[in-house]
C-alpha cells in the first residue's frame, strides 16, 4: 500500500497511479457538492461558473457562518464544521460529473456502485474514502472557504475550499476496477449463510 | 368533579426549557457520552483488521479534536429529537413546553450557528431553523420519579436514519424471520450508516410502535440491557451475528460493525410479527437536562 500526495487539479496519469487500499493526501483546492447541487446541475441544466476540470469534489453540506465579504474573504463565509455525507445517494451523478465537468476525484463515505466503478475505469477517476462522522478533524484540513456558487442552495451550494494536507484518505475505488466496497460486500455475502445458520435462521 | 391542588409541585418555566433545549442541542453535537467513548476503546482492543484499526483511531482522534476545538463532532446536525420524561408532581403547561423546545432549537441553529438540516418534504425549502411541521420530534413519557423533569436531546443524522427498515412479518415467519431480517438489514445498510453502530431492533407492537421501539433501542446508552428476558437473549445473539459479518468500521471490513445490538419489545397482535431496525451511527450523540427542586443537572 503506497501513500500519494496530489496537488489539485491533477491529470489522468496521476489518477492511474492509485490503487484501491492506497492512501492519498490532497493539496490546494477542493470543491464541496451535495444532492441538491447535482440535481440542479444535471437535472435542471444549471451551469456552474467554476472550472472543475481535473479537480476533486467532496460530498458535503457544511456548517458555515455568514460574514461580511472582504478582500481577504470574498465568499462571505467562515467554516464552522465541514464533514462528509453518504455518497450512495449521488451515485447517478458520477458519470456526468466526469464527462461534462472533467472531475477526476470523488470524495465521500460509504462508497459508490458499479456505474461509478465503470466510469472511473473508462474515464480515469477514483473514489477516495474519508472517515464519515469525523468532521471536527476534517475541518482542521480546510484553511478557508474561497468562493461559493449557487448560494441559494445553501448549505447544498457548490463550495470552493482551500485545503492543506487534506487526508490521509483511503482509495476506496480505483481506475483499474478495484473497489474495497465490492470486496467487503462479497466477503459479507459469503459469511451470511454461516451467520444465519448459527442463529438458527438459515 | 372536583379539582385537587397540592403544595409540593415542581414547576419549570418555559424560559428554562427553552434555554435547556438550546444548550442540549449544541452540547449533544460536540461532546460524546462516556459510554460511547468506552465502546470505542473496547472495539479498538479487540479489532484484528489493520485498516479497521486505523479507521477507529481516526474516529477516536475526532472525538478529541471536537472537544479541544469545541467544534461539532459531525457536520450533520440531524433531525432534532427531544424525549421528555415528566415525573409525578410536576406542574406543566404541555403546549408551552412544546413551544419552548422549538424556540430553543431554532435559537441554537441561528445563534451558534448550526446548519439547519430540516426542509419541507415537498418543496425542499430550508427555513434555516432546524424546525418545521412536527419537527423537532418530541416524545413525551410520564414516569414515577417525583418532582423530576428530564429532557433528553438526540440529533439524529441522516446517514444512519436512512438505514431504517420495517417489515410486517407474519407469525409463521417466527423468530427466525426476525433474526434473518435484522442480519439482512445490517448487510443492506453496509458502510452507509457510518459503522460501528448501535443497531436498534424493535420487535412487536404496531407498525408505528415497532419503528419507535427500534429508535428507542438505537439511542439507549451502551451497557444497558433490554428489560425483557427474551429480548436480552436476542441482543447477545444478534450482536455476535452482526459483528461476524465483517462489514467493519465505515464498511471497509473488520470485526467492529456494531458496538451493540439493542432490542426493545412490545406486545403485538395474534396475527402480527413486526420487526424494525433503526441505526445509530458511531457518533452516537445525546445530551440531557434533569430538573429537580435542587436545580438542573446537565449530562448525557
* Residue corresponding to grid cell 431553523: B129
Would you state the torsion angle of the CA atoms of residues B145, B234, B28, B155, taken in this order, to the nearest 10 degrees? -110
Q: Residue A64: list chain B partners with CB under 8 A.
A: 113, 115
Q: Residue B239: list chain A partners with CB under 8 A.
A: none
Q: What is the pLDDT of residues B197-210, one digit of tens each?
A: 999 999 999 999 99
Q: Under an 8 A CB cutoff, do B113 and A88 touch? A: no
Mean pLDDT of chain B: 96
B6: pLDDT confidence band, cut at 50, 70 and 90?
low
- Specify the pTM: 0.94
Distance from CA of A20 to the nearest CA of B (A): 11
Q: Residue B69: list chain A partners with CB under 8 A.
A: 136, 139-140
Beta-bridged to residue A28, according to DSSP, are A163
Separation CA B232–CA A129 (nearest Å): 36
Separation CA B118–CA B133 (nearest Å): 10
Does the pLDDT of residue B3 top 90, yes or no? no
Average pLDDT (B220-246) is 98
What would the grid cell of residue A26 be? 490532497
Does the pLDDT of residue B1 top 80, yes or no? no
Q: What is the pLDDT of residues A7-58, one digit of tens each?
A: 999 999 999 999 999 999 999 999 999 999 999 999 999 999 999 999 999 9
End-to-end CA distance of chain A: 38
Q: Under an 8 A CB cutoff, do A191 and B246 touch? A: yes
Out of A60, A86, A201, whose CB is closest to B162? Answer: A86
Q: Residue A161: list chain B partners with CB under 8 A.
A: none
Does the pLDDT of residue B186 top 90, yes or no? yes
Q: Under an 8 A CB cutoff, do A110 and B190 touch? A: yes
Count CB-CB contacts under 10 A for residue B53.
Answer: 17
Does the pLDDT of residue B42 top 70, yes or no? yes
Separation CA B157–CA B78 (nearest Å): 4
Does the pLDDT of residue B242 top 80, yes or no? yes
Separation CA B7–CA A123 (nearest Å): 76
Out of A63, A172, A192, whose CB is closest to B72? Answer: A63
What would the grid cell of residue B187 be? 448487510
| Three-state secondary-structure class, residue A139 | helix
> Who contacts B33 (Cβ-Cβ below 8 Å, separation ≥6)?
B221, B284, B285, B286, B300
* Model pLDDT, residue A183: 96
Separation CA B72–CA B93 (nearest Å): 33
Count CB-CB contacts under 10 A for residue A79.
Answer: 19
* Model pLDDT, residue B165: 98
* Model pLDDT, residue A94: 98
What would the grid cell of residue A100 be? 461534462
Would you say B103 and B60 are in contact if contact means Cβ atoms under 8 Å apart?
no
Q: Residue B190: list chain A partners with CB under 8 A.
A: 110-111, 181, 184-185, 188
Beta-bridged to residue A23, according to DSSP, are A3, A170
Q: Residue A83: list chain B partners with CB under 8 A.
A: 72, 74-76
Separation CA B20–CA B151 (nearest Å): 8
Residue of B nearest to A61 (CA): B75
Average pLDDT (B190-194) is 95
Tell me whether B36 touches chain A (CB under 8 Å). no
Q: Under an 8 A CB cutoff, do A83 and B74 touch? A: yes
Q: Under an 8 A CB cutoff, do B253 and A183 touch? A: yes
Q: Any idea which of A66-75, A120-129, A141-150, B95-104 has the lowest mean pLDDT? A: A66-75
B5: pLDDT confidence band, cut at 50, 70 and 90?
low
Does the pLDDT of residue A1 top 90, yes or no? no
Our CA angle for B247, B249, B252, nearest 5°, is: 60
Q: Under an 8 A CB cutoff, do A170 and B124 touch? A: no
Amino acid at each position: 500500500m503506497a501513500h500519494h500526495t496530489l496537488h489539485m487539479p491533477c491529470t489522468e496519469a496521476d489518477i492511474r497511479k492509485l490503487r484501491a487500499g492506497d492512501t492519498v493526501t490532497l493539496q490546494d483546492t477542493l470543491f464541496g457538492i451535495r444532492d441538491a447541487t447535482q440535481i440542479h446541475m444535471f437535472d435542471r441544466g444549471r451551469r456552474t461558473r467554476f472550472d472543475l476540470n481535473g479537480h476533486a469534489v467532496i460530498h458535503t453540506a457544511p456548517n458555515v457562518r455568514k460574514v461580511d465579504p472582504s478582500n481577504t474573504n470574498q465568499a462571505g463565509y467562515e467554516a464552522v464544521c465541514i464533514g462528509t455525507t453518504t455518497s450512495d445517494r449521488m451515485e447517478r451523478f458520477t458519470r456526468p460529473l466526469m464527462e461534462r465537468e472533467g472531475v477526476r476525484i470523488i470524495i465521500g463515505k460509504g462508497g459508490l456502485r458499479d456505474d461509478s466503478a465503470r466510469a472511473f475505469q473508462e474515464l480515469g477517476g477514483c473514489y477516495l474514502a474519508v472517515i464519515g462522522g469525523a468532521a471536527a478533524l476534517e475541518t482542521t484540513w480546510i484553511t478557508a472557504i474561497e468562493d461559493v456558487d449557487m448560494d441559494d442552495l445553501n448549505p447544498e451550494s457548490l463550495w470552493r475550499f482551500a485545503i492543506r494536507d487534506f487526508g490521509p484518505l483511503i482509495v476506496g475505488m480505483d481506475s483499474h476496477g478495484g473497489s474495497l466496497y465490492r470486496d467487503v460486500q462479497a466477503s459479507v455475502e459469503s459469511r451470511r449463510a454461516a451467520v444465519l445458520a448459527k442463529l438458527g435462521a438459515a | 368533579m372536583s379539582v385537587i391542588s397540592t403544595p409540593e409541585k415542581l414547576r419549570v418555566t418555559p424560559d428554562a426549557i427553552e434555554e435547556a433545549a438550546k444548550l442540549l442541542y449544541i452540547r449533544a453535537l460536540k461532546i460524546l457520552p462516556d459510554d460511547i467513548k468506552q465502546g470505542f476503546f473496547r472495539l479498538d482492543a479487540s479489532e484484528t483488521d489493520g485498516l479497521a484499526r486505523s479507521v477507529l483511531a481516526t474516529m477516536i482522534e475526532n472525538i478529541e479534536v471536537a472537544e479541544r476545538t469545541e467544534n461539532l463532532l459531525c457536520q450533520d446536525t440531524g433531525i432534532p429529537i427531544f424525549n421528555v420524561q415528566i415525573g409525578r408532581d410536576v406542574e406543566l403547561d404541555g403546549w408551552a413546553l412544546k413551544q419552548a423546545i422549538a424556540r430553543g432549537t431554532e435559537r441554537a441553529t441561528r445563534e451558534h450557528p448550526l446548519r439547519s438540516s430540516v426542509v419541507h418534504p415537498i418543496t425542499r425549502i430550508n427555513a434555516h431553523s432546524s424546525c418545521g411541521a412536527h419537527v423537532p420530534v418530541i416524545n413525551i413519557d410520564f414516569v414515577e420519579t417525583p418532582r423530576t423533569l428530564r429532557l433528553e436531546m438526540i440529533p439524529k443524522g441522516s446517514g444512519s436514519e436512512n438505514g431504517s427498515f420495517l417489515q410486517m412479518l407474519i407469525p409463521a415467519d417466527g423468530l427466525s424471520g426476525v433474526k434473518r431480517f435484522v442480519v439482512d438489514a445490517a448487510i443492506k445498510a453496509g458502510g452507509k450508516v457510518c459503522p460501528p453502530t448501535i443497531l436498534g431492533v424493535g420487535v412487536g407492537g404496531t407498525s408505528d410502535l415497532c419503528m419507535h421501539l427500534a429508535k428507542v433501542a438505537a439511542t439507549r446508552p451502551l451497557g444497558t440491557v433490554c428489560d425483557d428476558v427474551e429480548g436480552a437473549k436476542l441482543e447477545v445473539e444478534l450482536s455476535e451475528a452482526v459483528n461476524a459479518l465483517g462489514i467493519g468500521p465505515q464498511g471497509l471490513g473488520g470485526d467492529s460493525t456494531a458496538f451493540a445490538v439493542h432490542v426493545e419489545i412490545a406486545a403485538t397482535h395474534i396475527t402480527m410479527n413486526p420487526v424494525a431496525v433503526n441505526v445509530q451511527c458511531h457518533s452516537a450523540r445525546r445530551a440531557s437536562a434533569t430538573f429537580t427542586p435542587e436545580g438542573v443537572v446537565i449530562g448525557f
